[in-house]
Structure 1
């Protein structure tokens, strides 16, 4: 299936993702107001960037600063598959916790990072809200890896952030139906999204949303145990619907909420 799929990420404009499957396609020389980060998955792309040309085969990441003149594509008849991120300067700097970002290297062959980026983009393009949120978290962490690979130095803030994680856990646990966005969590703690995620995962072993979801399913188990109907449990704990509760409850405990209640009999 050929074409391009697009989606906005986060609460505010300035961060978009794209997944493209094209054949024999070439882009005319153009520029963007945003940073553009692409991972080539299939095809031998010939890139033109600010007067120089280079090859970007499968597994290559390319990065373009705002305003840079770029163009490129693959030969006629050749399949081409890639994913791209389009991030405005201020959101990218804020996500990484730096004052300013500029990529020094336009291309690096990093196959594992390219595959991870493609997987995260597919999650963002998924119809399931929780999967989309996990994709956003993954992309935020991968942005730091990409930035460092392309020559951006990131500050070390994780140690200072560790002490705020318990505060965030209390805030999330106080109202599990609220489900704040990653932007809201970062603003609540006064941290960049990258440092929030890195510190939380290092201390807890899960992302904030994963931690909140396991607490939500644990509380669902308690409510089901005292006989509350699954539909009401889903509503009280902020699941999208009963099937959403079923999916996560089964993944955690190996059986559906209904089967769990019948087993308790």
Structure 2
């Protein structure tokens, strides 16, 4: 396993920690304890499988406000754009495992899952998932990690819909998302994106927001931030990553990752045990 490093936010009680098992690409572990920080809209481009371990969280998901109480499961689809913050004056704590969609058949045998509720599960189910996730953090051998991931997928399966992607996850705007991903380092216009969708600019703007519960600019920034985190995990320097993903400079990248994932580029790379890189902020 990679070494740990705790991220410190402006709030004195806010903490976040990332870890990636060295022998399992496409898997990331994350735990956080948040009182003051408010995460901007972001996605993980992976299944988010986790549990709320303390407090009460509030987040915006699919156009609505939701609460995530202690001893409940937190389940996210790869394309889900969401925010996050504590819902009261106390700390909100949660542990997550992010599993890239292509890995699901290996661990679960299912081609694709979709979650229709971001918060679900009984306290007993949440305790079982929490124990499994805690064991994953402590596992040292690749076989142990694989075995525990299989166990986690089995625990989560009852909460998933196994029919594959719903129709709305593809459709008219899937080419727009693909275009965005292919042009992250470029300036994009409303006219460009509307042309990809085959709609007039403002019809596209209204329809896109109605389907994704976010503006094209918000989705673009979420995609840029996720890709930046992925490139940082591959060992690219923050300056290289900023240029490759369309951020105006390294400071812009730092602000985006901190607001969406609670981590700076340099701290994220330290958590993953990467060495010999030019230091970012």
Instruction: Tell me the TM-score normalised to structure 1 length.
Output: 0.50
CA distance in 2, matches of 1:142, 1:102: 16
Matched residue of 1:125: which SS? helix
From 129, 148, 157, give the equivalent of 1:138: 148
CA distance in 2, matches of 1:106, 1:75: 16
From 24, 40, 51, give the equivalent of 1:12: 24
CA distance in 1, matches of 2:146, 2:124: 18
Question: CA, structure 1 residues 111+9, in 2 after alignment: closer, same or farther (shift >3 Å)?
Answer: farther
How far off its partner does 1:2 sit?
5.3
How far off its partner does 1:49 sit?
0.6
From 47, 57, 70, give the equivalent of 1:58: 70
Question: Is 2:107 the partner of 1:112?
Answer: no
How far off its partner does 1:135 sit?
5.5
Matched residue of 1:129: which SS? coil
CA distance in 2, matches of 1:54, 1:39: 15
**Equivalent residue runs for 1:227-242 within 5 Å:** none
Matched residue of 2:114: which SS? coil
Question: Is 2:130 the partner of 1:93?
Answer: no
Note if contact 1:8-1:16 (Cα within 8 Å) is conserved in structure 2: yes
How far off its partner does 1:10 sit?
6.9
From 134, 148, 152, give the equivalent of 2:158: 148
**Equivalent residue runs for 1:244-255 within 5 Å:** none
CA distance in 1, matches of 2:93, 2:115: 23
Match of 2:86 in 1: 74
Question: Is 2:51 the partner of 1:39?
Answer: yes
Question: CA, structure 1 residues 2+39, in 2 after alignment: closer, same or farther (shift >3 Å)?
Answer: same
Question: CA, structure 1 residues 93+9, in 2 after alignment: closer, same or farther (shift >3 Å)?
Answer: farther
Note if contact 1:103-1:147 (Cα within 8 Å) is conserved in structure 2: no
CA distance in 2, matches of 1:110, 1:81: 17
Match of 1:207 in 2: none
Instruction: String of CA shifts for 1:176-196, please: whole Å, max 9, x gaps.
Output: xxxxxxxxxxxxxxxxxxxxx
Question: CA, structure 1 residues 58+78, in 2 after alignment: closer, same or farther (shift >3 Å)?
Answer: same
Note if contact 1:108-1:150 (Cα within 8 Å) is conserved in structure 2: no
Match of 2:38 in 1: 26
From 119, 126, 129, give the equivalent of 2:140: 129
CA distance in 2, matches of 1:26, 1:116: 28
Instruction: String of CA shifts for 1:237-256, please: whole Å, max 9, x gaps.
Output: xxxxxxxxxxxxxxxxxxxx
Instruction: Tell me the TM-score normalised to structure 2 length.
Output: 0.48
Note if contact 2:104-2:111 (Cα within 8 Å) is conserved in structure 1: no
Q: How many residues align?
A: 152
Instruction: String of CA shifts for 1:218-261, please: whole Å, max 9, x gaps.
Output: xxxxxxxxxxxxxxxxxxxxxxxxxxxxxxxxxxxxxxxxxxxx
Question: CA, structure 1 residues 53+97, in 2 after alignment: closer, same or farther (shift >3 Å)?
Answer: same
Note if contact 2:133-2:152 (Cα within 8 Å) is conserved in structure 1: no
Work out which of the two has the higher radius of gyration on C-alpha atoms and give 1 or 2: 1
C-alpha RMSD over aligned residues: 2.6
Question: CA, structure 1 residues 136+59, in 2 after alignment: closer, same or farther (shift >3 Å)?
Answer: farther
